[in-house]
Amino acid sequence: MTERATFDDRLAAGFRRLLTQEGLDDLPKLLTPREWDEVPLFSRHARLAFLGGLDPSEQSRVLLGAALDHLRLVIAHRDASCPRTLVMVSITGWDEFGAGVEAPEPLQPHFWITSDPERDLKTFRVRLGFTERARHVAGWLRDIGRLGEHVVLEPMSPTPEVPRVYVALPDDPRIAALLVVQNANEDDERDTSEPGDAPR
C-alpha cells in the first residue's frame, strides 16, 4: 500500500468516526422537522486529530470535501423522505482563519437546514459568491475537482459578526428560489443587515 493510500484510508476512517461522534450519520434525526438550524460538522477541534500534519488551509479543504460528500447522502435522504427541506453547507470561522491570525484554525462547515423554507426564509436571499472568502472556497472546490458540481453563494445581507459562505447543488430548485442574480456593477460588500436571529 502506498503512503498516499494509507493517508487517504486514515482520512476516510477519521471522517466515518467523526460523523458517528457528531450524530450526523443518523439522517432521519438530522432531518427531523425543525426551524432553521446550522449543524456543525465537528463540535470540538480535538475530534480532528486525524487531520494532523495538515495546515489549517489544507484541513479546511479536506473538511469541505467531506461535508460535501455527506451532503449528497443527506440530500438523497431528503428527496426520499422530506422533499420540502432545504439543505446546503455553510462555512464559518473566517475570523480564526488566514493571514494575520496568530493561531489559525480550520474553517467550520455546517449543514444549513430548514424543513419549512417558506416559513423560515421569507426575506433570506443569496447571490453568487464573489468576495475573497467565496473565491477561496471556489479554489478549494476546483482543487478537489468539485467546482462544476456545486455553486458558491453568499447572503444578500451579510452579518459581519459571523461571515458565511454557502455551497449548494446548482440544480436544487429550493436554492434557485433564494438566488438573486445581480449585475457585475452591483457586486460589492456593503453590509445592510441588522443584528438579529434571522438565518444568515
pLDDT (tens place) for every residue of the chain, 200 residues total: 565 657 788 899 999 999 999 999 999 999 999 889 999 999 999 999 999 989 999 999 999 999 999 999 999 999 999 999 999 999 999 998 876 777 789 999 999 999 999 999 999 999 999 999 999 999 999 999 999 999 999 999 877 789 999 999 999 999 999 999 865 455 444 443 332 334 55
Amino acid of residue 133: R
User: Residue 83 contacts by C-beta under 8 Å, 6 or more apart in sequence?
Assistant: none
Task: Assess contact for 191 and 158: CB atoms under 8 A.
Answer: yes
Where are the domains positioned within the chain?
Answer: 3-186
Tell me how long the chain is.
Answer: 200
Cell representation of residue 186:
452591483
Look up the pTM and report it: 0.87
Distance of alpha carbon 163 from its chain centroid, rounded? 12
